[in-house]
Amino acid sequence: MSGQTSPIISLSCDLTCAVHYFSSGLQKIHLDREQANWTSTERLPLKTIMLILLAGIFLLHLTGIILLLVATIDNAWWVTNTMSTDVWSRWILDNGIWNNTVLPTSSSYPSEYLQAVQASSILACIFSILGLFVFVGQLFTLAKGQRFTFSGIFQLLACLCIMIAASIYTDIFHKSESSGWYGHCFILAWISFAFTFISSIIYFVLRKKTRE
């Protein structure tokens, strides 16, 4: 009898082991739940930050488009007290009334350079608008690592086009005129150049981050 294990002692050992394994399992489940809750609370701010970032990029892009459209359409690239000129026509103040006239055809307004400014301004608007539509479409269609590439390319093209338009206008037109100053459209053209350049850089940086 002394060499044999009592059935009661054996049953007690089995129950002790079962309770130990059961409590260990409960502790593991509790830790897994805590880790899952911690992970979800950690990811929630990241998602919120990403949504805020995307909204900010969208607003930056939209602001650039508005500035490009105003700079291209409005009539204030070069202004005086009695005249306001854009890349399409000229407004002259006569007896208190603004009259729309055509641009001069003299050597101070070479047509080939004027057409280059007009075409570059229009292309800048088109590329930037296309980039905004592509930006929205890429969020739902392309996988990570492929997003924002085309938006960045379109914005870079828009940036180059408006830079070409503003640079040609600065270098060619109104250089010999003693009176007058650059209007708000000319200034907005350079501001939109900065906006489109910044947004294109952001798109390329986001593309690199999503690939990682």
In terms of pLDDT, which residue wins out, 201 or 41?
201
Residue partners of 120: CB distance under 8 A and separation at least 6: 161, 162, 164, 165, 168
* pLDDT tens figures, 154-209: 999 999 999 999 999 999 888 877 788 999 999 999 999 999 999 999 988 887 65
pLDDT of residue 41: 45
Per DSSP (E only), the strands in the chain are: 78-79, 83-85, 90-94, 97-101, 181-182
Domain boundaries, the chain: 53-211
d(C-alpha 32, C-alpha 161), whole Å: 56
Q: Do 168 and 113 form a contact (C-beta atoms < 8 A)? A: yes
What are the two backbone dihedrals, phi and then psi, of residue 53, each rounded to the nearest 5 degrees? Answer: -65, -45
d(C-alpha 110, C-alpha 7), whole Å: 111
* pLDDT tens figures, 8-31: 545 455 545 554 554 555 455 555
Question: Is this structure's pTM higher than 0.85?
Answer: no
Backbone angle region of 103, left / alpha / beta, with phi > 0 → left and psi within -120 to 50 → alpha = beta
d(C-alpha 12, C-alpha 56), whole Å: 66
* Domain at 53-211, CATH from 3.30.460.10, 2.120.10.70, 1.20.140.150, 2.40.50.140: 1.20.140.150
124 confidence band (pLDDT: 50, 70, 90): very high
pLDDT of residue 175: 82
Q: Do 100 and 89 form a contact (C-beta atoms < 8 A)? A: yes
